[in-house]
Amino acid sequence: MSSGGMPGGAPTKIINVGASCQSNHGMNHTASHQENARNAVVERAAKKKRESRIIGGGLRQFSVIVCQKLQSKVRTTYNQVADEIIADFAGTHSDTIVPLESDEKNIRRRVYDALNVLMAMDIIARDKKEIWWKGLPETNMKDLEELKALRAEMMNRIGKKVAYMKDIEEQIVGLQNLMARNRQLLECGSASPEGRFSLPFLLVQFTLLLA
């Protein structure tokens, strides 16, 4: 009887249990690593989406929100505006957890940027911590009509100058063609003395305007 057989002469198939366990462990480790990577990607995407909602579509849209807050309060501070916008965001997005510290910092940074934009446009004024509303720039209808009339007048003047320059160009081209023709006749010897002009001479040109 051989050491590797069973009674009756049937060969025994020896399974390497250690190698099989090691292979399964490696597969499980790889699957776990892939799952962690997928979770990290999903988490980053969710965070980016949350930040984009906080920003409100961009600095322009966020400036409108800040502008509305300031207009309703007339006088306020930077912290009051930022705190109210953070509270409004938390109430609007009730499906999310209370805003994280990074989200609050992002909102406060956007409020600060929006305030600088509004100050540059002379819509608000600031003295130390206090901010007050000055008002949106008003466009008078009379001023608007005057600007439209001025624009129409300028466009009319530009059109006349363009037409004048085109007429001058046509005159120059005509004189150049006449000079080339006379030069060619002179070189060929076919120019008659009667057709010549003695210098200096006066050329008179007029334009007939039909009503």
For residues 107 and 167, state if they share a domain. Answer: no
* Residue 154: domain span: 141-181
For residues 127 and 98, state if they share a domain. Answer: yes
130-133 β-sheet, strand order: 75-77, 130-133, 124-127
The pLDDT tens digits along the chain (211 residues) read 444 444 444 444 444 444 444 554 455 555 565 666 666 655 665 555 554 455 445 677 778 888 888 888 888 888 888 888 888 877 665 555 445 667 788 888 888 888 888 888 888 888 888 888 888 777 667 778 888 999 999 999 999 999 999 999 998 998 899 888 888 887 887 656 566 666 666 666 666 544 4
Domain membership flag for residue 94: yes
Domain membership flag for residue 2: no
For residues 53 and 95, state if they share a domain. Answer: yes
Q: What is the pLDDT of residue 210?
A: 47
Domain membership flag for residue 176: yes
DSSP single-letter state for residue 5 = B
Q: What is the pLDDT of residue 199?
A: 61
For residues 125 and 147, state if they share a domain. Answer: no
Domain membership flag for residue 35: no
Q: What is the pLDDT of residue 194?
A: 62
Domain membership flag for residue 122: yes
DSSP single-letter state for residue 16 = -
For residues 128 and 165, state if they share a domain. Answer: no
Within 10 A of 65 (CB to CB), how many other CB atoms are there?
18
For residues 100 and 54, state if they share a domain. Answer: yes
Which among 21, 3, 25, 24 has a CA at the least distance from the CA of 12? 3
- How many domains does the chain fold into? 2
